[in-house]
Amino acid sequence: MKIDYVISWICQALFIVALLSGIPLVFAYYPQHAFESVQKITYLTPFGLFFRKLHYFSSELLLFFIVFHVIIELFLSYKSKRKTESDYLFGSLAFIAVILLMFSGYVLKADQNGQSAALVAQNIMKDSVILKYFSSFLSDSSVFYWKFFLWHVIFLPFFFFLFVFYHAKRVLPRIEFVSIALSLSVIFMLFFKMPKDIPFNLTSKHLTGPWFFEGVENMLKMNVNVDIAVFLGFFPSIALMFYKNESKFKTVINILLILWVIFYVAISLV
């Protein structure tokens, strides 16, 4: 069995685990009392902490395996022309949907870190030439967390499934891969800790967004133009949208992606 085949199945299986583990959380989460309901899930709801950890680690693993999947596909694409330009396009859109899913989930924690991440996103959209037309979505209102909640549990999962279907021509993974994905998630639950929620009555010197957002945040701190920072943050997905099978074009994109990885890791660690 080829490794690219296995990795692609595990990606879909991890999303199923994240989706199913999120269902119990949906019924215990109340956007109008976001932080309080998260704490109730964590400390009072039976098996709430288990499902929350499973949801978190399966999502984190999903992102890692998608990156692994992209690396393998780009390497194997030198020997195989099975992928079409539309496959790369829909794969890129699915990647963006996962990033937005994880970001919206981070905001839905509604602790100091989640609120800080939402504030940074608000400022980005307000200051951006392109994204400012969507800034009303993140405007402060009594339904602020309802917006993120609906996107996180309905719209973004739907778009992800749609993009994956057009990318891979399949959606539901085989049961053995779901078992592997579940086992990996549980193993990570046992050996790694989930980030702590920071309540608003606790002073915190350093508030952070999601780890994959660190590079964009650091560029903004260096007064890099908002649109340039966002472009650089989403460069892999943007580049893969225009990926083609011609060897010269692939070589250029692959070199740019390698340089981007070096740059983004460095800027994230500043």
For each of the domains in the chain, give its residue range(s) and CATH number, in order of start: 3-193+210-268 (1.20.810.10)
Does residue 94 have a pLDDT over 80?
yes
Give the position of tokens 């915190």. 204
Is the CA virtual torsion 237, 242, 248, 250 positive or negative? Answer: positive
Select the more confidently predicted residue: 76 or 180.
Answer: 180
DSSP-assigned letter for residue 202: S
pLDDT band of residue 1 (cuts 50, 70, 90) is low
Instruction: Measure the CA–CA gap between 126 and 120, rounded to whole angstroms.
Output: 10
Q: Are 27 and 81 in contact (CB under 8 A)?
A: no
Select the more confidently predicted residue: 81 or 30.
Answer: 30
pLDDT band of residue 17 (cuts 50, 70, 90) is very high
pLDDT band of residue 252 (cuts 50, 70, 90) is confident
Give me the mean pLDDT over the 16-33 stretch: 95
pLDDT band of residue 123 (cuts 50, 70, 90) is confident
Give me the mean pLDDT over the 222-250 stretch: 87
Instruction: Measure the CA–CA gap between 204 and 219, rounded to whole angstroms.
Output: 22
Q: What letters, b where the CB count within 10 A reaches 16 and e where it falls short, cover 110-124?
A: bbbbbbbbbebbbeb
At 140 the pLDDT is 67
Give me the mean pLDDT over the 132-161 stretch: 85
At 168 the pLDDT is 86
The pTM (predicted TM-score) of the whole model is 0.91
pLDDT band of residue 79 (cuts 50, 70, 90) is low
Instruction: Measure the CA–CA gap between 155 and 139, rounded to whole angstroms.
Output: 19
Q: What percent of the chain has pLDDT over 90?
A: 61
Give me the mean pLDDT over the 67-84 stretch: 73
Tally of CA atoms within 13 A in the half-sphere of 178 that contains its CB = 11
* Range of lowest pLDDT (38-47, 65-74, 138-147): 138-147
Q: Are 51 and 21 in contact (CB under 8 A)?
A: yes
Average pLDDT of the chain, as a whole number: 89
pLDDT band of residue 38 (cuts 50, 70, 90) is very high
Does residue 87 have a pLDDT over 90?
no
Instruction: Measure the CA–CA gap between 41 and 37, rounded to whole angstroms.
Output: 6
Does residue 77 have a pLDDT over 80?
no
pLDDT in tens, 188-213: 999 999 988 988 877 766 777 899 99
Long-range contact set of residues 212-215: C-beta below 8 Å, sequence gap at least 24: 212/63, 212/99, 212/102, 213/103, 213/117, 213/120, 214/268, 215/264, 215/265, 215/267, 215/268
At 31 the pLDDT is 93
Give the position of tokens 């340089």. 259
Give the position of tokens 């989706």. 19
Q: Which two tokens stand for residue 19?
A: 């989706």
Q: Are 91 and 167 in contact (CB under 8 A)?
A: yes
Does residue 221 have a pLDDT over 60?
yes
pLDDT band of residue 80 (cuts 50, 70, 90) is low
